Structure 1
Amino acid sequence: MKLRTAPLLATLTFLPSARAEVAPDITVVEEGYNYIAKLPCLGCPFLFQDTSAALNEPWRTRKDDNALLLNISLPYTCAFLALNTAPLSSGTSIPPLIHAPQVVQDFSSAELLATLATGQLEASHETALLGGGASFGLSYRYSLHSLRTTSNLQALVFHFDVAAVYSDLATPPTHHALTSPAQKMLEIVLLERPVHSATDPSPAYSIVKIALVSRTPSISSRRTIDFLAWDAHGRIGTPSHLLSYLLSAFAAFLTSGFWALFGFVMAVIVVFIVVVLLCVFGWEFWRDDYEKAQKGKHTRKSSAKGRADVESGTGRAKARFKSAEELGLGLASRGQVVGMGKSD
């Protein structure tokens, strides 16, 4: 959702005293739909880069009261919250990775206005903000549950709690767990908007309350996201993460240019040729001894099938006995043999 800074700009323009005022914990950008929360980061080291000499100085840390800026937006046509442009409770299985800019605790309203006007809340987490601050990756917990209301409209309560912050800009990387008992969390109350026409989105909500509150005990419906255990492909180390990574790398390879597509086509052709050759020449090689013995036995039976066996009456000679004429013995065979003797 695009920020609308016109109301805030008009306020700061006509109130010169606001230039020196410390920015409040909650700043209204658009009533009901867009807010900036300044969440204190108790015990967090302040990560900064000295850019006064226009040099690319290394990132360093110092002790300073600091806070994290959270840009909360509720798109008019969507039923989910966006935190620093990352959609939460949008129904996706892969949770978003959230980066939050770090500022000093006495960050002024004028500096906040300049940050909004220059779009630094949506800038890369590797660039320095006004005052030299950096952005941290957040390990967070969040929950969403419904509230009872006296009307037919649904109300939801959203809790967002930062558990730890991480940055690899400095050497060694900076990691800090927010374990202070005084650490606050963000609470947002959403109320369903009534539908006035057929073109109105349903269900749609607006923000009726937003505040920094004390942490509540852990509840079963709360989801915890470890910044170092997830990336854009899912939880690191799982089969689904590996599959998603390989598919993304393969898609990036195919879209990298003509030679990538040419190499893919050639690889498919080579694989096809190898499979065909294996089918043609490798069939005899992969036959086992039993199959070879059965084939030899079948061949011997086929060669002996045509032989005549008069006594057994099998083979091609399985028929009547042939007569003497048929055997070519002629008329002599018609005589009768009465006896056999020897004469002197």
Structure 2
Amino acid sequence: MGHGHGHGHGHGHGHGADSDRRYLAAALVLLVVFMAAEVVIGVIANSIALISDAGHMLTDAASIALALIAMSMAARPARGAYTFGWKRAEILSAAINGLTFVLLVVYFVYEGVRRLIEPPEVKGLLVFGTALAGIAVNAVAAWLIARADRSSLNVEGAFQHILNDMYAFIATAIAGAVVWLTGWGRADAIAALVVAALMARSAYGLLRDAGRILFEAAPPGVHPAEVSAAITAHGDVTGVEDLHVWTVTSGFPALSAHVIVKTGGDCHRIRRELAELLHERFHIDHTTLQVDHVPGTACRIVKASGTGTSRQEAITP
């Protein structure tokens, strides 16, 4: 615990990941304890808004738990058939999260509408008080998660959930106050529908981002046509074939391509220059480029990513 704050994110990954885990675990415990209390109070107060907030918190807690599991899975070394290790774990976790959300949304919409039609008696003051406590709990959890490294899709996902949860609790607090002061019971059901709408939005975002990665789409902001044009713009390059750009896991884009160069061009130099270009312009560090001359003598280069070592084979027809 005695590390200085503020530094350590860029440097030692070990310490960064450990403190990230601690912050996330603390937030998780806080949310789970409050969530359990909230379900009990929701049943006592007869408030679907409180129960839907607890449902929203469940997805918050799930996103943090999955982030923690995915962190340890993604950190496992690559070996055997799993050449990328378990880096996709966090993407699957985001997708599962999104699907859980969808199911809860369906339930809360159904229950909210049913209560709009025949509103039950709701204890407004209890709802109001609990929602205020919920805002405080989320503020602390958000503060804890903001200390962790948010560049991971998972941690950022957990953070967004908690901010979303703040809005949900604000809606519930307003509804509780309305029921308490005016006795208008339908406010509670309306708040639950607002929470369901917030959850639906999160679910859509998560499923969209996870889906892009699972379907091997190009990373956001990297257009294959532009990448292709940038490579062919190189003076010695005559064509690009079989270009693939995809994301292994959030923050890990990869590219492979077959590049054809003019006869007499220096394959090794061109490959280096293209790798630099892709790094600078598109922030892609994991590149596998096969560089060949226009039919004639061919030279191929297989670059091992990250290590900077490359294996060259000159191939004469």
Q: TM-score range by the shorter chain?
A: under 0.3
> Which structure has the highest helix share of the two?
2
> Which structure has the highest strand share of the two?
1
TM-score by structure 1 length?
Answer: 0.21
Larger Rg: 1
TM-score by structure 2 length?
Answer: 0.23
Higher relative contact order (CA 8 A, sep 6+): 2
